[in-house]
Structure 1
Amino acid sequence: MDVSEPLLVDASAEITNGVGRENGSAEAAAANIGGDSASISAVLLLSIVVLGCGSFANGCAGGFSSPAEDGIMEELGLSTAEYSVFGSIYSIGGMLGALISGKICDLIGRKRGAWLLDLGRLSTGVGFGLFTFVNPIYTAEIAPKNIRGAFVSLSPLLITGGASLMFLIGNLVYWRYLAVIAIVPCAFQLIGSFFVPESPRWLAKVGRENEVETTLKRLRGKNVDISQEAAEIRYFVEDLQQLSESSFLDLFQHKYARSLIVGVGLMLLAQLGGFTGISYYASSVFEASGLSSSIGTTSIAIIQIPFALIGVLLMDKVGRRPLLLVTAACAFLGSFLAGLAFLLQDFGLGKESTVILVLSGILVYYASYSLGLSGIPGVIMSEIFPMNIKGSAGSLLIFVYWTSCWIVSYSFNFLFDWSRAGVFFIFASICGSIVIFSMKMVPETKKRTLEEIQASMIS
């Protein structure tokens, strides 16, 4: 999958939709939650590093299947259909994790070898399905407000870095060793999780108020005055408790129709555009074009990280909507070039042109997704839903995300066998539809308050 985080929930901003207080609104409280100080304590830094290990491991898990494909299929004697199950079952795990993520966050022979392989990848997917929900919320709640955005933005960069590492190392080592390497960031996260503090807001929410200031002191540093921030967190929780609980079905009220259409539409189209399938089976794509898979995957690994970094820098400067339009259009171009290359191959024309067009098309496609198409839908989703339905909306959208990842990752090999050109033309048409959908439905959210955005979305 892309394996960037699909729903960047800015939990500290959600209160701007809450009930106002007599002495200063909840909006004012939220504006200060996270503190004004840019001080980064050792505990805060450790917490971000541990979360970063999770994002990096997520990228490693997603990037593993492409370089490992030939070795696994040969050694275990798997057919294309069986390897498609292995590649896509990661997304099924993500779907299962997405379904329970909200509650968890609130409460707390050769064939036999293939089955064990599938079980391991399924459980990995479940774990990262949960992590997809928890990571941005926890990050937003523990970071000071003036550096919160930078910390949240680290996640897609690290996911891209993990996938790139798998592509690079996968060309050099045996696939079993590659799996062991992917375990390393998971181990760091597991060990580190015993040393990071709980979210101060969650502590206040569950009535453990005596621990709030102690935890804030650990996160902000001993010499930082956290009394105002602790008071604001308590105000936040009091206001939150005044709001009535919304059920899942409340999502489908007419007034939320546009938000739901935009949310589901972007999550669905961005993944059906083919990123997961191409990522999981990139080696096969390059080999089919006549290009060495090691050259192709190494090129992908090199291009992803700088474009992901540029995307983070441009997000608040050019705006979400323009960046989404440009990257979707470029993804269309990349898919179309790859499809055209395989079409020429089908007619026996220009072998050298096929290789050049496939490599160029795939690199343009990856650059586009890294630049914005992978992350922007999640950013927009965190801004268009009111707080009272954001939890339910988040679970639904993450489930849609993982479901569409599974559809693409499972069907890709079958579609590729059916028509190498056809599958890329399908992806091109979907990426093109993102441009049209964004022009008609998606609002620009840059430099607008949550109230302004959500008021404009209510029909």
Structure 2
Amino acid sequence: MDPIGASCISFHFQENEEAILKEQQQDEKFNQIIASCRSLSYYDGKTFKTYLPQVIAAFVAALYHVAGGISASYSGILMPFLQRNITNDTFDSDLTATTAECSWIASVVVLIVPAGAISGGFIMDSIGRLNTIKLATVPTILGWCLIAAATNVNMIIAGRLFCGFGSAWGTIPATVYISEISRADLRGALVSFTPTLASLGMLICFAKGSFLHWRTVAWMANLYVVVSVVLLFLIPESPAWLISKGRDEEAAASLRWIHKYQPQPQNRNESMAELQLDFMQREHRKKLAEQAKKGKFGAKAKFNMFFTPIVLKPFLIISGLFFFQQFSGIYSTLFYSVSFFEAVGTSVNPFLASVFLALVRMLGSCANTYMLRRFSRRPLVITSGIGMAISIGLSGLFTYWIKAGTSDQTWVPVALLVMYVVTCMIGLLPLPWTITAELFPIEIRGVANSLSFSMANVFMFGAIQSFWTMDRLFGGMAGIQWFYAAVAFISSIYSFIFLPETHRKKLTEISEYFLTNTIYLGSTKSAGKLQHNRVSKEHSAELNIEQGETLLVNGKD
């Protein structure tokens, strides 16, 4: 073969090799771009071990709710003693309370919560979610000591005030923390730890109150506060909060702990923790750039942001849901549990009935953990309201017949109230608290959650404080139960019209929904919803890998 022909063939082969190599490089770039476009949830392990750290962290953070549950239900075991002057020794012989004083003892614990919630929101955004829970031990322990050593009703009321303040600081940050460290598909189930553990605290309180002196119960309540706070030192702070404070190294360590059992992501050199950190840092830089255009994001900026659609709309919707929750009797029947059972005319021991109801509430919370992961939010709330209306409405009917002497089936109201508790645990009790943790953007999440909790407690105070007034207004316990039934039914209609679906939605998607929608019925697609453009293989060589990384917009918040 002549030299010219040989060189041409050699050049041809070389050209082919270069083309093949170039095509391989294009394929590699294309695969990297496709990998970067995937949602971080694509790389999440699907075994229990992979999300075990999130479960542990959520459980430990929510453990303070046991103390909160004891505080909430304590008036139920205390007031029968004060009203009837039932004592175990001579020290309490002069400690009695009127009906008005008992109303304040029951309701004052939630009256102070708005102040605690709002201040706690600023504190948790300043010093962190877990540090705020630790700080809550101070007012809580002081409150229980005042109650246990009380020599008059005013000391009990003061102690209840401190306990309410501590409950706000200890429980609200836990809900925010869990929503920030959990996967989107696990968030609802993990947040439901909070009502489950609160229900456990109620069960403990009623069980102890049935055979222990109320002062002993108060002293022992401090134990649950101390244990829950000590365990907080075993889990890391929220990485989202750490990044918002520029503490990236601590955030990286927190993410490594949270994702320690995650497998190595396919076709990626980075670990799951590194991918998550990179995404959160870029999202934070993007938010800082947006804030820089608008000025420093201080108290004034947060105040202005509160009136934007992505904050104000969910706040109004969740406030309405909290109103129906409170005036459907969910917490009134708890705070006045023993007195309530006595008033419905049942022959069952009211203390034992309260213990049994608390047990049902706790088991319902455990079942709700599964249901929140399995089912959508809206159907649960709607079904819950209808079930509550039917059960407590029928309970009111039997109460009326028993009081009128036309029925001797005194066990029926207890059975129907058990059904009432079961149906409320399906949705209307836990879901408003759960949804609140999902609705607000990170920049104002602490404050917005605190304001929502404050509204819930304002409504709770009104419902509890007005219990005996409604008893007189509606002609007894039967009328109160019918009122609760009507409110529960209206809550289902309200949820059907206004409540958006948040199940398996990313926090950014939820915020985007409120940009263009208020009423869920007939709602349009979120105008801000981001979609990936299709990238053809033949043009992939022109794309830079960094440009591909910017398309990773569907990662977890």
Question: TM-score, structure 2 length as denominator?
Answer: 0.69
Q: Which amino acid aligns with 1:183?
A: N
Tell me, yes or no, if structure 1 residue 407 matches structure 2 residue 446: no
What per-residue deviation string (whole Å, max 9, x for no partner) do you get for residues 287-344 of structure 1?
2214321232132023222322332322343421111111101111222123223322
Q: Aligned with 2:411: secondary structure?
A: helix
Deviation of 1:221 (Å): 4.0
The 2-side partners of 1:43 and 1:402 are apart by: 32
Q: Which amino acid aligns with 2:125?
A: D
Q: Aligned with 2:168: secondary structure?
A: helix
The 1-side partners of 2:43 and 2:459 are apart by: 35
Residue of structure 2 equivalent to 1:81: 100
Tell me, yes or no, if structure 1 residue 116 matches structure 2 residue 116: no
Residue of structure 2 equivalent to 1:433: 490
Q: Is the 8 A contact 1:337 1:360 kept in 2?
A: no
Tell me, yes or no, if structure 1 residue 238 matches structure 2 residue 293: no
Residue of structure 2 equivalent to 1:177: 216
Tell me, yes or no, if structure 1 residue 61 matches structure 2 residue 71: yes
Q: Is the 8 A contact 2:50 2:261 kept in 1?
A: no
CA shift in 2, pair 1:211/1:439, >3 Å: closer
Residue of structure 1 equivalent to 2:173: 134
The 2-side partners of 1:384 and 1:196 are apart by: 25
Aligned length: 435
- 1:301 is matched with which residue: 351, 354, 358? 358
Deviation of 1:178 (Å): 1.8
The 1-side partners of 2:237 and 2:372 are apart by: 30
Farther-moved stretch of structure 1 (254-263 vs 359-368) = 254-263
Q: Larger Rg: 1 or 2?
A: 2
Q: Aligned with 2:277: secondary structure?
A: helix
Q: Is the 8 A contact 1:329 1:431 kept in 2?
A: yes
Farther-moved stretch of structure 1 (213-222 vs 303-312) = 213-222
Residue of structure 1 equivalent to 2:109: 90
The 1-side partners of 2:158 and 2:515 are apart by: 45
The 2-side partners of 1:220 and 1:430 are apart by: 44
Tell me, yes or no, if structure 1 residue 278 matches structure 2 residue 333: yes
Deviation of 1:223 (Å): 9.6
Q: Is the 8 A contact 1:71 1:174 kept in 2?
A: no
Residue of structure 2 equivalent to 1:20: none
CA shift in 2, pair 1:196/1:447, >3 Å: closer
Farther-moved stretch of structure 1 (394-403 vs 375-384) = 375-384
CA shift in 2, pair 1:116/1:195, >3 Å: farther
User: Alpha carbon RMSD of aligned pairs, Å?
Assistant: 3.4
Q: Which amino acid aligns with 1:227?
A: E
Deviation of 1:135 (Å): 0.5
Q: Is the 8 A contact 1:336 1:424 kept in 2?
A: yes
Tell me, yes or no, if structure 1 residue 324 matches structure 2 residue 343: no
Q: Aligned with 1:428: secondary structure?
A: helix
> Where do 5+ consecutive residues of structure 1 fail to align?
1-22
CA shift in 2, pair 1:53/1:400, >3 Å: same
Question: Within 5 Å, which residues of 2 pair with 1:215-364?
Answer: 215-221=254-260, 225=271, 226-244=273-291, 245=297, 246-248=301-303, 250-252=305-307, 259-288=314-343, 289-291=345-347, 292-350=349-407, 352-353=408-409, 355-364=410-419
The 1-side partners of 2:238 and 2:46 are apart by: 18
Identity over aligned pairs, percent? 22
What per-residue deviation string (whole Å, max 9, x for no partner) do you get for residues 138-185 of structure 1?
223344666554432222211112212222232122212222332222
Question: TM-score, structure 1 length as denominator?
Answer: 0.83
Deviation of 1:374 (Å): 0.8
Deviation of 1:44 (Å): 6.4
